[in-house]
Amino acid sequence: MPPLFPSAFEEVIFWFVFLFGIGMSSLIEERGARQSMKSQKATGDKSTLLLLNVATFFSLVVGILVGYARVAELPRWTFLPGLAIFLFGIAYASWAAITLGRFYAPTVEVQFDHRVIDKGPYRFIRHPRYAGGLLAYLGLGLALQSWAAVLTLLIVMGLGYVYRIRVEEKFLIAELGDDYIEYCKRTKRIIPFVL
């Protein structure tokens, strides 16, 4: 397989940024899992976490392989903007998890004193962690310089997020009631003022 990047330096930069982003996401997930074990009240669904993990692994492996195979190539200049978008998406998703604090958990669940959080990135959208994830996957596909990688990453993860959002919102309405229903009325799911 020919090298994807024109220089070894760009190859190293790509893998450093990619592994840094994945590592940051993993640390946030681990922190959320440890916190939620302490004060979990009810769990709505643990299978969506497995689904998202499988979708993430599949989309990353296929997306990277498609990029290296040079399928549906994008211009070389998309490399640096792609890495910047990837890092921004990771940072935005991390900000969302940190804003939830002890209410953040990788599984669909609520804590004993759970309440709706509507500050920070939750002011306009209900699922900024997933919005950040989609941005990160878009950036990764651009950094791989392949339309096929962009589409693979966004479609697979988008489908996983759509399913997770449906499960999560149904559970939160059942657990948090009118507070969450009112929050849904004044916010969008993923894109502020749009969707």
State pLDDT tens for residues 30-57.
Answer: 877 776 666 556 666 677 888 888 999 9
- Residues 83 and 14 sit within 8 Å (Cβ to Cβ): yes
Distance separating alpha carbons of residues 106 and 31, to the nearest angstrom: 9
pLDDT, residue 129, reads 94
pLDDT-wise least confident of 43-47, 57-61, 154-158: 43-47
Q: How far is Cα 67 from Cα 84, in angstroms, rounded to an integer?
A: 17
pLDDT the model gives residue 108: 84
pLDDT of residue 1: 59
Calpha distance 23→19 (Å, rounded): 6
Name the residue among 77, 44, 81 with its Cα closest to residue 168: 44
Measured between alpha carbons, how far is 168 from 179 in angstroms, rounded to an integer? 15
Q: Say what the pLDDT of residue 96 is.
A: 93
Going from the C-alpha of 21 to that of each of 56, 73, 89, 92, 182, the distances in angstroms are 13, 23, 9, 11, 34
C-beta separation of 176 from 110 below 8 A: yes
Which residues lie closer than 8 Å to 58 by C-beta, 6 or more apart? 156
Domains for the chain: give ranges and CATH numbers: 8-186 (1.20.120.1630)
Supply the pLDDT for residue 86.
97
Task: Please give the residue that has the higher pLDDT: either 102 or 131.
Answer: 131
Distance between CA atoms of 20 and 164, rounded to whole angstroms?
25
What pLDDT was estimated at residue 44?
63
Read off the pTM.
Answer: 0.90
User: Do 59 and 157 contact (CB within 8 A), yes or no?
Assistant: yes
Cβ–Cβ < 8 Å for 118, 49: no
How confident is the prediction for the chain on average, in pLDDT? 88
